[in-house]
Structure 1
Amino acid sequence: MKLPAEFLSKTGLLCSLLFAATVQAAQVELWKDPNCGCCLEWAKHMEQNGFEVKIHNSGNEEQRAALGITPKYGSCHTATVEGYALEGHVPAAEVKRLLREKPDALGLAVPAMPVGSPGMDNPYYQGRQDPYEVLLLQKDGSSSVYQSYPEKK
């Protein structure tokens, strides 16, 4: 028996939707200063992009050191997701890419707090984005550019 293409298409779509609904969102665990608002904005960015975020308001220096992230890559918050470290305002798109590609690495970092990065895109800056790089952190302490974001005025 041959089924109509429209039926097969709709059945496939339904199966895809059901599968997507059963896949749990990756959980991000975030360490931040209790008074830092940009960290909360980054957490919102991650949640808006399908991640679940668990927040620890205990500061991040101890966690950063425990994960092996050297201070030169430091930022205002540290997070983990599926065994990877995330330092600073890493865009959700790059975290999703990391989880797809699964490189043998420590994780990702956006050092400092570049204006225009997720969480640092406050309306006060009027759409400005300073150029910044997302770095792939290696376990030996080295890094390479994972993705560059250009300046926007």
Structure 2
Amino acid sequence: MFLPTLRRAGCAALLSLPLLAAAAQPVIEVYKTEMCGCCKEWVKHLEANGFQVKAQNVANPSDYREKFGIPSEYGSCHTGRVGGYAIEGHVPASDIKRLLKEKPKARGLAVPAMPMGSPGMEGPRQDPYEVLLVKDGGKASVYKRYP
């Protein structure tokens, strides 16, 4: 009688592990316009990769980019904030997870413009693009290249 009860309890604990892992991801605040479809798709990409997203529709997302210290030359259609870092544009969730794990001294990550094939911009073509690590003072280096 004790063994089956123990097994059920063990199974329940194992089944809850994915939920605990998802809950452990920090919340990403996203500032976007209400009508932008690619922003909504990027939010879905983040959620599908385990992030909790608090999306806010704002009149001018670039105000948040400026507030978080990302130069306008690295701008895109939405800005996010997670773990003290700015996330500008269509940055893949895997790069955000890497940023949060490595914790480099930086303002955040940016994918300038809206490259086809980046998360939220999927379509018939895949353009090469770079994820930039934006440092204090606005200097940036390539964090990851996508073909």
Q: Does 2:47 align with 1:50?
A: no
2:135 is aligned to 138
8 Å Cα contact 2:22-2:51 kept in structure 1? no
Distance in 2, Cα, partners of 1:18 & 1:69: 34
Aligned residue number for residue 101 of structure 1: 102
Q: Could you say what secondary structure the match of 1:148 adopts?
A: strand
Change (3 A) 1:76 1:18: closer
Tell me the matched-pair count: 137
Aligned to 1:25: 25
Corresponding letter in the other structure for 1:106: R
Q: Which amino acid aligns with 1:34?
A: E
CA contact (8 A) 2:80 2:88 kept: yes
Give, in whole Å, the separation in 1 of the partners of 2:22 and 2:45. 22
Mapping of 1:4-153 within 5 angstroms?
Answer: 14=14, 17=17, 20-21=20-21, 23-58=23-58, 59-121=60-122, 126-150=123-147
Conserved in 1, the CA contact under 8 Å of 2:90 and 2:111?
yes
CA separation of 1:21 and 1:116: change in aligned 2, threshold 3 A: closer
Partner of 2:131, secondary structure, is: strand
SS of residue matched to 1:119: coil
Shift of the 32–22 alpha-carbon distance from structure 1 to 2, 3 Å rule, reads closer
State the superposition RMSD in angstroms.
2.3
Unaligned segments of structure 2, at least 5 residues = 1-9
Q: Quote the Cα distance in structure 2 between the aligned partners of 1:29 and 1:136.
A: 19
- The CA deviation at 1:22 is 8.0
> TM-score, normalized by length of structure 2?
0.85
Alpha-carbon shift at residue 127 of structure 1 (Å): 3.9
How far apart, in 2, do the equivalents of 1:128 and 1:51 lie?
26
Match of 1:55, SS state, is strand
Q: Any conservation in 1 of the 2:88–2:109 contact (CA below 8 Å)?
A: yes
Structure 1 distance, partners of 2:17, 2:86, is: 30
State the identity as a percent: 56
**In 2, Cα distance between the equivalents of 1:74 and 1:30?**
14
After superposition, what is the alpha-carbon deviation per residue over 1:94-145, rounded to whole angstroms, capped at 9, x for unaligned?
0010011010111000000000000000xxxx54210000000001110000
Structure 1 gap ranges (5+): 1-9
